[in-house]
Structure 1
Amino acid sequence: MTSNFFLFSEPLTAERLSWITESLKYYFVNLYPDALRHPSRAESPFFAFFITDNALYSLHEEETLRIWDIILSLPSVWLFCNRRELDLRGLSVSPLKMKYPGTVFDRDKEAGSRSFWEEAVRFCRKLDPDMDTFGYLQISSPYMNRSCQNSLECLHTAAREGLSPELYVYMDGIHVTHAGQRPIEFINIGDGFQDLAEIAREKGLSFQLLASERSSAARGYSTWDDGKGTVISACTIEPCRIRNLKAIIDRFRRSHVILGESAGTTDISHAIRAGQEPWEKKEPTPPSLVIVITRPPYGTEHTLGALSFAIAGAHYGITTRVIFLEDGIYSLTGTHNAEPDDVFFNIQEVIDAAGGNENLEFYAYLPSLQERNIQKNKKLNAVLDIGPGELTTLLFSPPRGVISRHQRILFF
């Protein structure tokens, strides 16, 4: 059974659910038409959506709930909801469970049931039974954002399941590593990751906490730099190692599952064939990476951070596709002009400069442009226009030359 995994913790808008729906339809009609004609009950679904935090509100808002009805009506689509977060918000999915029995799950409090994160980790493990490591990319700061608690719970669960946990902190995620955290109203995230290091050691597992050197320096964490990629800080928790972004990219070259605040893992092994030779007998490559840019440029670091990560990944041999959609499409409209005294990077100049990398491709989702009544800058020749069919291919089919079990998807 081909399985595809998505985790969403940020608000799920009608626009996002709509393009997900169109992709699923295209997937079934063009790639797996038999699933529509002969639906069957299996131990693992084609698609598993794990939603938590503010993404849960999409199950109650009228517009988004109508789209969820379409998604859940498709064959072999399962929905896992974080029961603890539902209860915290006073929400319930009982009507959906009655309407789609055996498809919608929120079993945290049922006797003998696994927690939301146990289900997530075990499902990911089915995608790659041989993996011994579990990674998480953290890009938001603690306390202001609940996602840091998710990364903590997820990696603690991975360790309990016998997987070596790894945390990669980037952009504002660096604040996870600050020493001396003393929150009153929240779980202490810093202490939690120090405890995780000890738990991993006791279980004979390794634990890595890698922080981006550039993100650390921008936020005042770098105390001493040897100029060769090693940075010492006087204000980080003990497990933290500040390194050049290449150190994090090297972990992405490995085949283990890596999640994030909103992320996906899609099975591409079924599409990798050469005659009768199964893909397992071929020389493996690093998993391909799809970076989905969904926010407008300049207001936050998300767009520049996503592009920097994509460029680094491509530079070190990871086949990377960047897709601009939703509000991310504003990076491509008009001609961006920065004043001479501005210290901002011009996003369009970054795209132009990176366009010649053979491992890096850029795409613009036309429905996002049309919905906003805007047009792409025609001078951005490196960015190709795509529709729902091409988007589906990018998400669920391997790029040329990639031999891997799965493909990673990160939302910025």
Structure 2
Amino acid sequence: MTSHFFLLSGPVTGERLSWFGESLRFYFIQIYPESLMFRATTKSPVFTFYLTGDALASLENPETRQIWSAILSLSAVRIICDRQELDLRGISIEHLTMKNPNQVIDQNSLLHNNQPSFWNDVATGVRQNRPPLPPDSIGWFQVESPYMHRSAWHGLRFLFSALENRFSVELYAYLDGVHLGHTGQGPTESENIGRGLLELCDQAGKSGLTCRILACNRSAAARGYRTWDDGKGVIVSVCAVRPFKIRDLNVMIDRFEKSHIILSENSGSIQFPGKGSGPPFDRADQNTTAPPVTILVTRSPYSTEHAYGAIAFAVACAHQGILTRVVFLEDGVYALTGKERFCPDSAGFNIQDLINAVAGNENLYLFALTPSFQKRGVTRNKNLKAVLEIGYPGLGKILFYLPGNVLMDHQRVLIF
């Protein structure tokens, strides 16, 4: 049975759960309608949600709990919770586990040291979704800084668990994620992330596996990371730990052309059932074996770098032949409203100008979710002709229909 999964660690609002629910409803009606007539009997559910961090609060919040209950009425959906994070936050989900004992899992599997590990569950789930062709790789995409955000710690725990499951590991640092590799980290009340990267690479080497850590040079330069060229094409940074390689963004995108699973703190992996799953919503310009990338822009522009960084990353992917779809939804639609005006001598960036500048790029498609506009009482700037408005069925097609000319069994979903 085709299996999909989402990893969620950030806040899960009612709006986010609603478009998740509508997308699932589209999938089950259009692609897997038999599941609506009888309870699925397969051992592996069609959808698995891995929840940790702030996402766990959505299981207790009355508004979102009601939506989760509706989603769990679909028997092919399962939720696996991070038990340690539930205990840390004092969150009780007994109401859900009692009602859905086979669908809501709040106990984690054991590592070799007999300690329960949510991240081992995630890595094991990825292993079950991959063909038995070791050694395989697994990747983590980091955009947030360490210490201020738990996602850095989550990424390390995931990659260590991946090594336990005989994966080679890769970490991609983008935007504030480049701070993971700074030298001289000395936290007194939390795990040392820089030291953790060194231990990760050492453990990979002892296990006969590969550890690759790449950081975006433009993100690094903007944050004061200085590099020098050794004259042989090797870029060296004197302010980054040993395994941390600051490289051109295209070097990172080269890894995204490979077939391995790549996750981030809020992300997903969608398995395509193969030809015949439905008409392709859009297509790559040429046959490609790179997994498509769908980027969901959920944050408002300008207050953070997320929206601009998401578009820049999407353009880089498309430029290297990866079919890339960008969907503006939730507060991300504010990047598309009104007519933005910048002071002529401003050093800032205008996202609407950027969107118009990249419109028409090969392998790049831009969408906006109409219900997100309606919820906020705003409309799209009609001059942004490259952005196609879609409803929930359109989002479902982007997520679940096999795109034309794509010769790959899955796509990556990154939530910015």
TM-score normalised according to structure 1 size: 0.95
Query: In the alignment, what sits opposite 1:280?
Result: none
What whole-Å deviation, never above 9, does each CA across 1:172-194 have from its counterpart, x for those lacking one? 00000011111111111111110
Distance 1:18 1:230 in 2: 47
1:117-196 equivalence runs, <5 A: 117-129=119-131, 130=133, 132-196=136-200
What whole-Å deviation, never above 9, does each CA across 1:351-383 have from its counterpart, x for those lacking one? 111111120000010000000000000111100
Distance 2:55 2:227 in 1: 38
Query: In the alignment, what sits opposite 2:238?
Result: 234
Distance 1:82 1:144 in 2: 20
Whether 2:42 is the aligned partner of 1:42: answer: yes
User: Quick one: which amino acid aligns to residue 370 of structure 2?
Assistant: L
Query: In the alignment, what sits opposite 1:254?
Result: 258
Count of aligned pairs = 404
- The CA deviation at 1:95 is 1.9
Distance 1:308 1:73 in 2: 39
Deviates most, 136-145 or 331-340: 331-340
Distance 1:319 1:169 in 2: 21
User: Quick one: which amino acid aligns to residue 335 of structure 2?
Assistant: S
- The CA deviation at 1:292 is 0.2
Distance 1:201 1:353 in 2: 44
Distance 2:24 2:337 in 1: 28
Give 2:226's match in structure 1, choosing from 222, 225, 248: 222
Query: In the alignment, what sits opposite 1:390?
Result: 394
Whether 2:75 is the aligned partner of 1:75: answer: yes
Is the CA contact (8 Å cut-off) linking 2:50 and 2:79 kept in structure 1?
A: yes
Give 1:205's match in structure 2, choosing from 204, 209, 212: 209
TM-score normalised according to structure 2 size: 0.94
Deviates most, 143-152 or 30-39: 30-39
Query: In the alignment, what sits opposite 1:279?
Result: none
Structure 1: which 5+ runs fail to align?
275-282
- CA 1:218–1:228: 2 relative to 1, 3 Å: farther
1:100-115 equivalence runs, <5 A: 100-108=100-108, 115=117
- CA 1:184–1:113: 2 relative to 1, 3 Å: closer
Distance 2:243 2:323 in 1: 30
Query: In the alignment, what sits opposite 1:99?
Result: 99
Deviates most, 8-17 or 109-118: 109-118
Is the CA contact (8 Å cut-off) linking 2:288 and 2:322 kept in structure 1?
A: no
- The CA deviation at 1:31 is 1.3
- CA 1:214–1:272: 2 relative to 1, 3 Å: farther
Structure 1 SS opposite 2:405: coil
1:251-330 equivalence runs, <5 A: 251-271=255-275, 285-330=289-334
What whole-Å deviation, never above 9, does each CA across 1:215-257 have from its counterpart, x for those lacking one? 0100111232579974321111100111000011000000000
Identity between Structure 1 and Structure 2 (%): 48
What whole-Å deviation, never above 9, does each CA across 1:30-78 have from its counterpart, x for those lacking one? 1111111122222211100001001111111110111010111112100
Distance 2:231 2:332 in 1: 34
Is the CA contact (8 Å cut-off) linking 2:109 and 2:121 kept in structure 1?
A: no
Q: CA RMSD in A?
A: 1.8
Deviates most, 219-228 or 30-39: 219-228
Structure 2 SS opposite 1:208: strand
- The CA deviation at 1:11 is 0.3
